[in-house]
A = this chain, B = another copy of it.
């Protein structure tokens, strides 16, 4: 992954929200905060590089990347609300609802979601019907009842239902996997993958989703809010699914290692089948390593 792509997309993020309408000041401030303090832009860079690789021109690749990032940011804002995780800190800043109120936080996330759909429509307008229909189905499945929204509902219901490790994994796959699936499968629709490639891509997204989630769960248990840049310790406090709590740290650690092996095998399948065209996913897998930085700490704490 090219560091210049990060710089480029970080600069593009605030530009794709039109501001010519005279925005209400609190909403404007919230949107400014959300688009000018990007995280690692892992998903956006992944989408951008994949789309470029599959022949999309720069401006449209940028639109797709910003769209996926807008969906991601909107999901964080909503996750942090008092009725969801009730978090106070995100990306080292007070959460949007703490600074600008809950209503503004909800409206900002809706503005991002609305804009994301518009950007995807624009970016894909010149593609074939088949590509557009596949891309639309990916967005529907990733974000809707089968993905992010449905997973979040189960996440919140967790305190009232059984807390087995298998249920935790399924929730993690639906929820965290959803935005990764979007970042991987949306640009992949442009490449018309074979049935085998499609299967490997989907499995990769499930493994990556679980990897991300376990790393996050371990971080929630071990890190302070200051270190993580967001409110930690919420899972135990709120009775939310957390694999490090459900399995214990050593078992969570073992699962992390197993998932990394499974993801590597899917990347190997894609390398064989795709003759290099999925190379950007290998680079992405290398970038995932720092996101799993709490592994070693988990090992020593365990």
- In the complex, chain A residues 11-25 whose Cβ is within 8 Å of any chain B Cβ: 17-19, 21, 23-25
Does chain B have a CB within 8 A of A133? yes
Closest to A137 in B: B118
Given that A103-B83, A153-B27 are known contacts, is A118 also in contact with B145, CB under 8 Å in the complex? no
Interface of A is mostly: helix
Query: How long is the Cα–Cα vector from A125 to B132 in the complex, in angstroms?
Result: 7
Given that A21-B150, A101-B83, A136-B122 are known contacts, is A106 also in contact with B106, CB under 8 Å in the complex? yes
Q: Which B residues touch A157, using CB under 8 A?
A: 24-26
Given that A81-B106, A83-B103, A118-B139 are known contacts, is A111 also in contact with B149, CB under 8 Å in the complex? yes
Query: How long is the Cα–Cα vector from A103 to B132 in the complex, in angstroms?
Result: 32
Given that A129-B126, A140-B115, A140-B118 are known contacts, is A153 also in contact with B26, CB under 8 Å in the complex? yes
- Contact between chains at B121 and A132 (CB < 8 Å): yes
CB-contact partner of A114 in B27, B149, B156, under 8 A: B149
- Contact between chains at A149 and B81 (CB < 8 Å): no
Query: How long is the Cα–Cα vector from A262 to B107 in the complex, in angstroms?
Result: 32
Shortest Cβ gap from A60 to chain B (Å): 13
- Contact between chains at A78 and B104 (CB < 8 Å): no
Given that A103-B84, A146-B18 are known contacts, is A136 also in contact with B152, CB under 8 Å in the complex? no
Does chain B have a CB within 8 A of A102? yes
Q: Which B residues touch A101, using CB under 8 A?
A: 83
Query: How long is the Cα–Cα vector from A111 to B144 in the complex, in angstroms?
Result: 5
Given that A23-B150, A24-B157, A103-B156 are known contacts, is A145 also in contact with B18, CB under 8 Å in the complex? yes
Give A residues with C-beta under 8 Å from B.
17-19, 21, 23-27, 78, 81, 83-84, 101-104, 106-107, 110-111, 113-115, 117-118, 121-122, 125-126, 129, 132-133, 136-137, 139-140, 143-146, 149-150, 152-154, 156-157
Query: 4 tightest CB-CB pairs across the interface, nearest first?
Result: A24-B153, A83-B102, A118-B140, A121-B136
